[in-house]
Amino acid sequence: MKKEKFNIIKDSCIPLPLENVDTDQIVPARFLKATTREGFGENLFRDWRFDEQGNKIESFVLNDPTYSGQILVAGKNFGSGSSREHAAWAIADYGFRVVVSSFFADIHKNNELNNFVLPVVVTEEFLKELFDSIYANPRTEVIVNLPEQTITNTATGKSETFEINAYKKHCLMNGLDDIDFLLSNKDKIESWEAQR
């Protein structure tokens, strides 16, 4: 999996106004059998995108050419349920760099961050207005500025700040991962074990 450094992203959005989108919908269990991280994008939202015969379900937003972009905008409590990181791999592999919602499930949020997809938590009001802007004009762009920790709806000019811990922000902006960091603390691990 490539670790694409994160800075500022300006793009249009794909709206998914459903609440409680669980990781079984993001990628169904029968597609979890791979032993690598590649290729999960084709199974993103598999059972909402394709029927049992494998035909596209035209009404689903990912199949609607009206909408495109690297920003997924979803209803409250996105990514609930299973801890499967395959859900984050599918989102990243499909081409999303940002997921915007008013609320994320914990494990999935970490999984996105560990795969250089930025989960941006906004207020309910901002989210509702953003859905309205996108439906009014599908080309509506959003600017996600990680260094400044801001998100802006360019249609309305409204902007909000979002939370991310300084460590994870540093990792995202510099393409670093946690294993390197943890192993650089090996002396601390060993001294903790010794004093136990």
Quick check: 36 binds other proteins (CB under 8 A)?
yes
Interaction with other proteins in 51-70: which residues (CB under 8 A)?
A: 52
DSSP for the chain? -------EEEEEEEEE--SS-BHHHHS-GGG---SSSTTGGGGTTHHHHB-TTS-B-TTSGGG-TT---SEEEE-SSBTBS---THHHHHHHHHT--EEEES-B-HHHHHHHHTTT-EEEE--HHHHHHHHHHHHH-TT-EEEEETTTTEEEETTTTEEEE----HHHHHHHHHT--HHHHHHTTHHHHHHHHHH-
Which span (7-15, 90-98, 101-109, 151-159) binds other proteins, by CB under 8 A?
A: 101-109
Alpha-carbon span 21 to 96, nearest angstrom: 16
Q: Judged by CB under 8 A, which of 10, 11, 12, 37 binds other proteins?
A: 37
Quick check: 42 binds other proteins (CB under 8 A)?
no
Nearer CB in complex with other proteins: 116/141: 116
Quick check: 97 binds other proteins (CB under 8 A)?
no
CB of 172 to other proteins, least distance (A): 12
Nearer CB in complex with other proteins: 69/79: 79
Q: Judged by CB under 8 A, which of 35, 53, 55, 59 binds other proteins?
A: 35
Q: What is the CA radius of gyration of the chain?
A: 18
Which span (64-72, 138-146, 150-158, 162-170) binds other proteins, by CB under 8 A?
A: 162-170
Buried b (16+ CB within 10 A) or exposed e, 72-87: bbbbbbbbbbbebbbb
Nearer CB in complex with other proteins: 86/97: 86
Q: Judged by CB under 8 A, which of 10, 11, 22, 62 binds other proteins?
A: 22
Contact positions toward other proteins, by CB under 8 A? 17-20, 22, 24-25, 28-30, 32-37, 47, 52, 75-77, 80-86, 88, 103-107, 110-111, 114-115, 124, 128, 165-168, 177-179, 181-183, 185-186, 188-189, 192-193
